[in-house]
């Protein structure tokens, strides 16, 4: 009986502790806003509504009748019909960041515009000029002239924004100015395939066509994002994306000062470090960014960076994922000398690199190859042939390029994600000159404990890529 009483007492103590703990958790949580009215009223004068016009030329059928869909005449008159000019308009949003009339919006809102009108507080309209725009980040800076006192907003620290935090969006969806929507931050660091510098904030606050360029506010009334994209074509489905303020501000500062961006440039093409590649390179885990190729006379080339190096650290910042590196490099001052730590031949080494400027750099040329007769490689379930002189000439490769051109890939091949025309130039860190070289490399990989084959290829854009293949 005594034992039962003790058990009951202990149970009560535990239960009370749990209740207290739960109470403490709720006590520390931020309360749900009773209303957004005061905040919205304060911020709305700083949000603007943008309309643009541009001349569009289309070819019009000169005949008083239509051709059936798919008719060759339909295509002919699309190309050779009577040119006709018309004015096209577009709508967007923006916000004031300086009382002198500096307005921020998306680049795609004003791209190609001949006239840009900015409406402030619903009825005051001003003509705007573009101070600078950046397609890579989709940011544009406008300037309006006004004798009225303009009310700016300030940027907040987007790095402190957390998943679950309340946010509000104000904008001009479908031309309905002064629209306020609320939601939470649904996710951070989203990559949706728009550009190399993506790091979007995802929100479920309703964002629609016309919201582009408008602000995403935190509960302090600070701008933590620029609303840029939505998932879905028909309208909001609760998945919208905003450029983080910390990323945007650096671009904006450059556009205001120079009228253009000045991004740092390493001069390398990079790819993800897979588990297979990490195993072959004797790296503790998949991390960093694998250097697939190095541009001639680029900052990396001059500093001694080589294809196959894995960049682990840039200017004191650890690179955990490949996608982190382009953003960090781009935000670093052009001409600055930085320390880069790379993994090479099983050990870490350091290199000093003086950054170039991305905007003035040259990209790699794009050529497409042709196919000829081939030989099957059973273990890889691909067909290859030796590279020929015409391949080198057509693709503008270096004269001494050696390798095997992939001409066929089976659906169940372990490298079925590659494309016909890709060129295998190395296997297990050895140059591939003949089909026999590749067969020997495959055989050696199959006999190893890891059963992993490390290939180096040129893809159909002549970009050097590393491929880790797990063999059965």
**Which residue numbers are catalytic?**
108, 138, 212
- What are the Cα distances from residue 8, in Å, to 14, 20, 92, 271? 10, 18, 65, 61
Q: Residue 419 and residue 133: Cα distance in Å, rounded?
A: 36
Q: Residue 163 and residue 332: Cα distance in Å, rounded?
A: 27
Contact predicate 268/305, CB 8 Å? yes
Helix (H, G, I), strand (E, B) or coil at 214: coil
- What is the end-to-end Cα distance of the chain in Å, rounded? 65
Query: What radius of gyration, in Å, describes the C-alpha atoms of the chain?
Result: 29
**Beta strands in 99-165, from DSSP E residues, in sequence order:** 102-105, 115-120, 124-134, 139-144
315: burial class by Cβ within 10 Å (0-12, 13-18, 19+)?
A: middle
Contact predicate 315/330, CB 8 Å? no
String of b and e for 383-398 (b: at least 16 CB within 10 Å)? bbbbbeeebbeebebe
- What are the Cα distances from residue 35, in Å, to 2, 38, 169, 179, 255? 55, 8, 14, 15, 37
Q: Residue 204 and residue 185: Cα distance in Å, rounded?
A: 7
Helix (H, G, I), strand (E, B) or coil at 173: helix
Cβ-proximal residues to 317 (8 Å cutoff; 6+ apart), any chain: 324, 328
Q: Residue 274 and residue 383: Cα distance in Å, rounded?
A: 25
Q: How many helices (H) and strands (E) does the chain have?
A: 10, 27
């Amino acid at each position: 009986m005594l034992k039962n009483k003790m058990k009951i007492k202990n149970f009560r103590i535990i239960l009370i502790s749990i209740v207290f703990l739960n109470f403490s958790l709720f006590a520390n949580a931020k309360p749900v806003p009773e209303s957004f009215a005061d905040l919205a009223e304060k911020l709305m004068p700083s949000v603007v509504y943008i309309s643009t016009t541009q001349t569009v030329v289309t070819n019009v059928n000169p005949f008083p009748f239509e051709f059936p869909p798919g008719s060759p005449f339909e295509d002919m008159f699309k190309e050779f019909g009577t040119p006709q000019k018309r004015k096209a308009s577009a709508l967007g949003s923006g916000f004031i960041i300086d009382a002198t009339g500096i307005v921020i919006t998306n680049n795609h809102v004003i791209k190609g515009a001949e006239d840009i009108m900015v409406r402030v507080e619903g009825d005051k309209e001003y003509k705007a000029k573009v101070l600078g725009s950046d397609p890579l980040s989709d940011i544009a800076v406008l300037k309006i002239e006004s004798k009225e006192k303009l009310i700016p907003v300030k940027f907040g620290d987007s790095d402190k924004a957390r998943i679950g935090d309340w946010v509000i969006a104000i904008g001009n969806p479908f031309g309905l100015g002064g629209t306020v929507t609320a939601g939470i931050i649904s996710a951070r660091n989203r990559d949706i395939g728009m550009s190399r510098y993506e790091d979007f904030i995802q929100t479920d606050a309703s964002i629609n066509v016309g919201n582009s360029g408008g602000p995403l506010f935190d509960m302090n009334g600070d701008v933590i994002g620029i609303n840029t994209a939505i998932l879905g074509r028909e309208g909001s489905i609760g998945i919208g994306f905003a450029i983080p303020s910390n990323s945007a501000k650096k671009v904006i500062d450059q556009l205001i000062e120079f009228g253009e961006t000045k991004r740092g440039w390493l001069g390398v093409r990079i790819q993800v470090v897979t588990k297979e590649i990490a195993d072959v390179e004797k790296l503790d885990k998949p991390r960093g960014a694998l250097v697939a190729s190095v541009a001639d006379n680029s900052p990396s080339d001059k500093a001694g960076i080589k294809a196959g190096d894995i960049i682990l650290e840039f200017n004191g910042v650890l690179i955990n994922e490949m996608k982190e590196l382009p953003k960090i490099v781009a935000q670093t001052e052009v001409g600055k000398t930085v320390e880069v730590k790379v993994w090479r031949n099983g050990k870490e080494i350091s290199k000093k690199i003086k950054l170039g400027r991305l905007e003035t750099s040259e990209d790699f040329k794009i050529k497409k190859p042709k196919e000829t007769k081939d030989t099957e490689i059973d273990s890889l379930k691909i067909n290859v042939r030796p590279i020929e002189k015409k391949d080198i000439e057509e693709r503008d490769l270096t004269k001494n390029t050696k390798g095997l051109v992939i001409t066929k890939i089976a659906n169940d091949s372990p490298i079925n994600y590659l494309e016909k025309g890709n060129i295998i130039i190395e296997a297990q860190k050895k140059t591939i000159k003949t089909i026999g070289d590749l067969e020997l490399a495959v055989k050696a990989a199959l006999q190893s404990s890891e059963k992993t084959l490390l290939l180096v290829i040129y893809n159909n854009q002549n970009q050097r890529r590393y491929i880790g293949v797990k063999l059965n």
